[in-house]
């Protein structure tokens, strides 16, 4: 109790908490984009449930990993060396997650450009398999993003209560933003392609990080913000043209 009171009275602890909350929210954007794209492929009545499960699992994984900080720190220690390049468990997990994101985003882009014929299977079977597959893929990426998130938290502060608060706040923000973001992506098909491009970039960044090439996150998010701003201008331009055509008609 005295320890918590000391933290609450420390300006440094509040600054660390605010900084870490912002960092965790930014890192959660990648996770949220993936969840939004994946759940939008499910039947509408299952989307909200899948998003809640996906984000709930992200919270459970992050809190679970926080309870094993000593183990998480060891994940950064080299365990194998290939052609002079040392790899830790964290590196291999990031590389695997990056490859999965590249595969998933490329597959989704292919399906968007060249849609497959309607599946002759029954609707019930498709919903069950689709929901299970979506949850499995969300869980896989939750693990990758959670490890990256917790290692970032451990590197920024040594106080476990600050880490827990930051993680809980960031996941709550994800939960609040999930529905509007998914609806926005679903209502604007061109945004889907942009978001898939983001996932490819994030996947390449994870692979680069796994091979020891540090990519400043500021560059990645600045590029994403710039692309999003351009797409916003395109959307406003299209709506203006549609409004003009409607008025002239």
Mean pLDDT for the stretch of residues 44-59: 86
Q: Do residue 173 and residue 50 come from a single domain? A: yes
Return the number of other C-beta atoms located less than 10 Å from residue 193's C-beta: 15
Q: Which one is predicted more confidently, 183 or 69? A: 183
Tell if the pTM clears 0.95, that is, is over it.
no
Q: 29 and 146 in one domain?
A: yes
The two three-digit tokens of residue 14, written as one number: 């509040």
Co-location of 139 and 241 in the same domain: no
4 confidence band (pLDDT: 50, 70, 90): low
Whether residues 171 and 129 share a domain: the answer is yes
User: Do 174 and 241 belong together in one domain?
Assistant: no
Same domain, 6 and 71: yes
pLDDT score of 128:
44
Mean pLDDT, range 214-236, rounded to an integer: 82
pLDDT surpasses 80 at 117: no
Which residues, listed in sequence order, are joined to residue 85 by a DSSP beta bridge?
Answer: 82
| Boundaries of domain holding 236 | 216-248
- Do 233 and 198 lie in a common domain? no
pLDDT at 203: 84
Domain shared by 82 and 156, yes or no: yes
Report pLDDT for 96. Answer: 87
Residue 123 above 50 pLDDT?
A: no
Q: What is the DSSP string of 187-227?
A: H-HHHHHHHHHHHHHHHHHHHHHHTT----HHHHHHHHHHH
Specify the residue for token string 């390449």: 204
Whole-number mean pLDDT of the chain? Answer: 79
Residue count (the chain): 249
Give the rounded distance of the alpha carbon of 130 from its chain centre: 20
Predicted confidence at residue 119, as pLDDT, reads 47
User: What's the rounded mean pLDDT across residues 76-91?
Assistant: 84
8 Å CB contact between 88 and 75: yes
DSSP string, 44-107: HHHHHHHHHHHHHHHHHHHHHHHTTHHHHHHTTSEEEEETTEEEEHHHHHHHHHHHHHHHHHHH
Residues 65 and 95 in one domain: yes
Question: Residue 27's closest CA among 195, 208, 166?
Answer: 166
Residues 112 and 51 in one domain: yes
pLDDT of residue 122: 37
Q: How many domains does the chain have?
A: 2
Which of 57-66, 156-165, 177-186, 209-218 is predicted with the least confidence, judged by mean pLDDT?
Answer: 156-165
Same-domain status, 203 and 176: yes
| pLDDT surpasses 60 at 236 | yes
In this prediction, residue 124 has a pLDDT band, given cuts at 50, 70 and 90, of: very low
**Could you give the C-alpha distances from 130 to 51, 101, 126, 136, 151, in angstroms and in order?**
14, 18, 6, 10, 32
Q: Which of 63-77, 112-126, 127-141, 223-237 has the largest mean confidence?
A: 223-237
The mean per-residue pLDDT over the stretch 51-78 comes to 80
Is there a single domain that holds both residue 154 and residue 193? yes
């Amino acid at each position: 109790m005295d320890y918590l009171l000391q933290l609450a009275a420390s300006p440094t602890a509040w600054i660390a908490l605010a900084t870490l909350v912002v960092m965790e929210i930014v890192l959660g954007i990648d996770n949220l984009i993936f969840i939004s794209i994946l759940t939008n492929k499910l039947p509408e009545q299952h989307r909200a449930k899948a998003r809640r499960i996906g984000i709930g699992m992200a919270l459970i994984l992050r809190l679970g990993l926080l309870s094993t900080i000593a183990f998480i720190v060891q994940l950064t220690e080299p365990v194998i060396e290939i052609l002079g390049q040392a790899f830790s468990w964290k590196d291999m997990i990031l590389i695997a997650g990056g490859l999965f994101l590249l595969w998933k985003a490329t597959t989704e882009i292919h399906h968007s450009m060249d849609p497959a014929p309607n599946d002759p299977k029954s609707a019930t079977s498709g919903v069950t398999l689709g929901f299970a597959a979506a949850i499995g893929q969300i869980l896989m990426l939750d693990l990758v993003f959670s490890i990256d998130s917790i290692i970032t938290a451990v590197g920024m502060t040594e106080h476990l209560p600050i880490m827990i608060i930051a993680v809980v706040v960031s996941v709550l923000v994800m939960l609040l933003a999930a529905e509007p973001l998914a609806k926005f992506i679903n209502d604007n098909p061109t945004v889907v392609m942009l978001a898939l491009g983001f996932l490819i970039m994030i996947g390449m960044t994870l692979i680069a990080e796994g091979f020891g090439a540090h990519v400043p996150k500021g560059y990645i998010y600045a590029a994403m913000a710039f692309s999003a701003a351009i797409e916003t201008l395109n959307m406003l331009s299209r709506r203006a043209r549609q409004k003009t055509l409607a008025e002239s008609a």
